[in-house]
A and B are shown apart, each in its own frame.
Chain A
Amino acid sequence: MEINQYHKAKSIEEAYQILNENPKNSILGGGAWLKQSSPSVNTLVDLVGLGFDQIIETKDTIEIGALVTLHELESNPAIKALGGGFVSESLSEILGIGFRNIATIGGTIAGRYAFSDIITSLLTLNVKLVFFPKREISLENFLNSKGKVTDILTHIIIQKSPGKGFFKKVSVTALEFAILNIAVFQQGNKYQISLGSRPGAPLLSHEASAFLDKQVKITEDIIEQTAQIVLDTMKFGNNKAASEDYRKTLAKTYVKRGIKEVASK
């Protein structure tokens, strides 16, 4: 990516103004994927120093500034406690620590990266995104939206939940992108199942959740049927990392394993 100008914003209002002056202007997250991005940027606007690098825990929520790095998030005690640690685990498998000390949660989410491990795990939770000047949207709705983001993502708010989670990244080696990533979260009688790197962006299987939620008992047969619903309702594809059939085989195996794990904890 070619950057024509860099501007350290003095305020979020100024950043918003500059972002919308030219469709080729962009907000800088961690900058970790800039080299892999092809379009050039007219003005890259940096939000550093504006206070978006804090994690604030309240009784019911964890409020994360967009510039919090992935390693700061992974090491945070409140994040480690979520769902038995599955969110923290999904962060720990993203390249090495030297990368995770640069990449930010805001940049990851705003980029809607299809291979993202952290988006897959967060999708199973109640997560709200806060944009400047005045917009709040669920993570799922944001991922389903299209086009350039013209507001500025400032915070990610996770509703705390006492449930249990499972996360699995399948990749050829530890430092490669996932061929498929799978997250399952269970709270009470409610289940959420998400799959990313299909190779499309992470998605929730609402059909599988609806089927599981109405079950009185989670049996082997119910788990088998749930995994089949995921395969029947979710789109998988081919790319150079893996074939559609291989992804489906992985999805079936790890969805079943995930449900068993969270249901038996």
Chain B
Amino acid sequence: MKVKFNLNGRNREFDVSENEYLLETLRNNHITSVKNGCNESTCGVCTVLMDGKPVLSCTLLSLRADGHKITTVDGLQKEVEEISHFFGEEGADQCGFCNTGMALTIYALKNEIENPTDDEIKDYIVGNLCRCTGYHAQFKAIKSYLEVKK
């Protein structure tokens, strides 16, 4: 079946099967910044934005992306570089596998909640797992990023 959506600012059309998830569609079409982690709705590394909201691409049927705007880190390079800068400053990076999904979630958080509390930040990123760090450095990096974006 055909599915059409706007991917990082460009209107695209893909051939997909009824059983295909957006993660497969993107990675099969060379969008490898979207990572395949648990592939069962838990780890968050496959996060993309659909109409600005974070969604797990391993859990969204590709056909459900039809007509929507899908954004990966490739479409938000300036913003993601900015977030990465704060991660670097706080030493929040290790292997980097979770970074793309986490950066998109943080970007969505900034747009959705004005002046989030510490608990709101933690609740928002609870679905983005990192197996290297203890989240403390990442939390500090997110706070710093949100502070300068006020």
Contacts and interface: CB of A to CB of B under 8 A. Distances in A.
Interface of A: 1-6, 8, 28, 31-32, 34-36, 44, 46, 48, 71, 92, 95-99, 101-102, 174-175
Given A35-B41, A97-B105, A102-B55, A175 B126 contact: yes
Contacts of B54: 97-98, 101
Contact of A174 (B50, B55, B126): B126
Given A97-B124, A99-B41, A175-B129, 16 more contacts: A5-B18, A8-B66, A36-B40, A46-B63, A48-B64, A71-B53, A95-B42, A96-B125, A96-B128, A97-B108, A97-B123, A97-B127, A98-B105, A101-B50, A102-B56, A175-B126
B18 A44 contact: yes
Contacts of B29: none
A93 to B, nearest CB: 9
B60 interface: yes
A31 B14 CA distance: 20
26 contacts: A2-B19, A6-B18, A8-B63, A8-B66, A28-B61, A31-B59, A35-B41, A44-B18, A46-B64, A48-B64, A95-B42, A95-B127, A96-B125, A96-B126, A96-B127, A97-B108, A97-B126, A98-B44, A98-B47, A98-B56, A98-B101, A98-B127, A102-B59, A174-B126, A175-B42, A175-B129
A5 B19 CA distance: 9
A99 B61 CA distance: 12
Interface centre among A2, A46, A101, A174 (most CB of B within 10 A): A101
Interface centre among B1, B53, B59 (most CB of A within 10 A): B59
Given A95-B41, A175-B42, A31 B61 contact: yes
Contacts of A1: 19
Nearest to A96: B127
Contacts of B108: 97
A3 B18 contact: yes
B18 A99 contact: no
Given A92-B123, A96-B127, A97-B124, A3 B55 contact: no
